[in-house]
Structures are given as structure tokens and as C-alpha cells.
A and B are shown apart, each in its own frame.
Chain A
Amino acid sequence: MNKHLISAADLSKDDALLILDTAEELARVSERSIKKLPTLRGRTVVNLFFEDSTRTRISFEAAAKRLSADVINFSAKGSSVSKGESLKDTALTLEAMGADAVVMRHGASGAPYRLANWIRGSVVNAGDGTHEHPTQALLDAFTMRRHLKNLEGRKITIVGDVLHSRVARSNVLLLSTLGADVTLVAPPTLLPVSVGTWPCDVSYDLDAVLPKSDVIMMLRVQKERMNAAYFPSEREYSRRYGLDRDRFAKLPDDAIVMHPGPMNRGMEIAAEVADSARSTIVEQVANGVTTRMAVLYLLLGGEI
């Protein structure tokens, strides 16, 4: 495995399967009364978050603590960054504190890649701009594998705001590495120009794709990143691309519904679908801790 985890494309099939298998073993730790392993004692993990996040930051924090690492949380608000400190100076400060790994979320695509050139420790991308979010893809693949056993040849449909979604890109890359067939469904305005080069199919017709899907993953409409009109109205978006009760009924009986959160209930997903027994949305959060433990163990557990 590489020293850093910046893009899902960095992972070979063997790497990805090693992470998923490791996570499968670590899942049992979350079920026992002492949810802690001594493995990363003495290692320091810095959570460096320049963008708001609750579940990802808490998830990484829980993962590092369950492995007995020391955790330092750094959020841009209320730090020297708000006084104008540059990313590089922040990185050198972390380096001086002896960070063995830096978990980074940043609004600019490529920021973790820059950071990796400045510090000695491992860099884990926890979401950079509209680029990638590899640990989200890993926890999604882990969740799918628990329900479908093997991902080889499975039909995965990802619906919604692909343009602003780092989750979609990382998922497409990882799932194709694992041998799944991915179809993106979105209005043409919410697909990136480069989507033709991605290892997946594209469709504009959700109803045609639903009956053939083993997994349907709904993406959040990222209003905070939208500075133009990408669709006429929320109501129209919801009508054409939202997963409501009628569309849910068209899915095969054993298909699962996923969402990386946070959800806009009633927009991309109906509340009753989100709360149904075939929705894995809450499970994804629990699996996030387990998968991130596996990543931190494999990056920091051995010789570094």
C-alpha cells in the first residue's frame, strides 16, 4: 500500500481488498465491551479540518482512539488559519508536533496532495473540494460487500449531484477497481465534463436503471457549492431524480439504498425510503469507524 491515501485510484485491487478484509476483522472490536486495541500506542494522528464536517471528523477521531493513537483535532475556525497562516506553515507546525498521520479535509481540490509533499507523515484525504473522498468510498464498498458478499459484476447506480461530489468520483474509481459496474444518473448540468473518461456508464433516465440495480446510492444536492442554476427548481429535480416511494418499489427486492449523508429529506430521498429496512444509511456511519480503523492500522501499524 502507498504511504498516503489521497485518491481511490491509488489503491490496487489487492490493496482495496486488504483494507476491506482488515475492516471485516476490526468490525468485531466495535461489538465487544472494551472497544480498544493497543496497536497505535504512541502514534499521533492530527485531524486537520478546513471545512465543516461532523460525521467524518468524529469517525476518524473514534477510529484513531480505538487504536490507542493520540488524536489532535485542528479546525480552521478559531485557529491561526483565520489569522492568515498559509497551508504550508500550518503543515510545518504539525510536522514539528510529530504528526505520524494527518487526516485532512479542505475546500480546495488537491490540497492533501500538496500537504503530502511537505510533511513526513502519512496524509489521508478526508475530502478535498469536489475531487475525492477515498475513505467514504471504502466504507461504502465495505457496506455493499456485507450485503452483497462479492462486488464483482454487481450493478451500482449513483444518482444526483455528481459534479460537486467527491464521493461519486472516489466511488466510481474504487468500485470499478473491485469489478463492479457503475452507472451514474444525473441531469446533464450536474455531470462533470470529463465524465466520459471515467470507468462507468452514464444515464439520464433513473426509472430505466432502477430495475437492474443491486445498489442505489443517492447523493446530496450540494447547495452550498452551487453558485448557478443547475436545474429549474428543487421540485423538478426531486420529481426526476429523487428516490420516492414509487421508484423505491421498482428496485429489485434485495437491492439496498445508500446515502453518504447528510441527507436532504424530501429532496433527493424521501423520508420513508431513508428510514426503510433496506436503507443502510445508519449502518454506513458505523462502518465508517471500522473502515477508517483499517486504513489507519495499515498506514501506521507497521514500520513507518
Chain B
Amino acid sequence: MSENSSSRAVLEGPDIHRALTRIAHEILERTKGASDVILLGIPTRGATLAHRIGERLEQVEDVKVPVGSLDITMYRDDLRTKPARALGHTELPADGIDDKLIVLVDDVLFSGRTIRAALDALNDLGRPRAVQLAVLVDRGHRELPIRADYVGKNLPTAKSEKVKVFLAETDGRDAVELIK
């Protein structure tokens, strides 16, 4: 980190825990029991969050919701700005996604371009009944007409700032930091 940048924690571990629990409750409420829901996380941290939300759904209402991951690398619109990237892991439930309610899960919603790519990827994998979006942090500055259905925290940011999510599974601790 350079000398004149500073980071501030905007969510700590317990805040993230509560936000995910609330999202789980909202999913159950909005989907009337989540009976045909599939949670698809966008690697890396979205996939981790999808698993956590899946566990919460099971704790709250004892529903077992299929959880998978959806890599969107091959559908990105900025592939040609950098050398080819390594691919993430895509894992879909064995029964496929046709006629299911897909809840996409990501850590930060920013320009909306990742979600646009995810919608394209889904289109090649099947025809879900509907697609919804859950994010831990919505930091604004959308560049496409996309919005989230479930938001852990709305975080007003300047476009020059960075939002970094840390999760215990990949980073050893839970936190969301705003880096100026």
C-alpha cells in the first residue's frame, strides 16, 4: 500500500455475519421458502458467500438449497485490456438450472459489468425461471442498468476509492475495508 493511501474498516466480522443472516431471511421471504432456489456465487469471494448464505438458509428454515459457482472470465468485456487470465471454477447442480430461481451472489457490486457477464454465462447454461442478485456491498457507480435484490450494505464511495472484501476462508479474517 502506498504511503498516502489509508484503509478504513467499514464492516467487521460480526457485521458481515448479521448482513448475511438478513440476506438469508430476505431470500426466504421473497421466494416464499426458497424451494426452487439455486445459489450461484461468482468466484472467488462470491462463491464463498454463496456457501455461507446456503448454510444460513439451512439453519433458519431447514431448507437445503443447492449451492454452486459460476465463473464469468470467458464472458468479460475487458479481456483484451490485460493478458489472458486464469479461469475460476464453475460448478452447477447436477439437475441443471432450467426453470429454477437463480440467486447470483457476489462480494461487491460496482460497475455492474461482472453481473452482465454472469447473465450472459447463464444464458449459455440453461433457462432459469428468474435471476436475482445478492451482494455483500453495493458501492454505487453503475455503468449498466443493473441493480441488486439483496444488499448487505449500501456503501457510498468515491470512484477513486477501492473496496476490499476479506473472508476467513480465503483471507484468514472477515472484514470489508474502504481504501482511499
Contact = CB atoms under 8 A, between A and B. Distances in A.
B169 interface: no
B87 interface: yes
B80 A302 contact: yes
A301 B124 contact: no
Contacts of B87: 21-22, 25-26
Interface string A263-304: 000000000000000000000000000000000011111111
A36 interface: yes
B158 interface: no
A21 B125 CA distance: 21
Interface string A9-48: 0000000001001100110100010101111000000000
B125 A22 contact: no
A283 B85 CA distance: 27
Nearest to A28: B90
Interface residues of A, number: 21
A198 B74 CA distance: 38
A301 B90 contact: no
Interface residues of B, number: 18
B120 A38 contact: yes
A31 B6 CA distance: 47
A302 B85 contact: yes
Contacts of A303: 80-83
A303 B84 CA distance: 7
Interface string B64-84: 000000010011000111111
Contact of B86 (A22, A28, A34): A22
Contacts of B75: 37-39
A38 B116 CA distance: 14
Interface in B105-134: 120, 124-125
Nearest to A26: B87
B22 interface: no
23 contacts: A1-B84, A18-B86, A21-B87, A22-B86, A25-B71, A26-B87, A34-B124, A34-B125, A37-B74, A37-B75, A37-B124, A38-B120, A39-B74, A39-B75, A39-B79, A297-B84, A298-B84, A299-B84, A301-B84, A302-B79, A302-B83, A303-B81, A303-B82
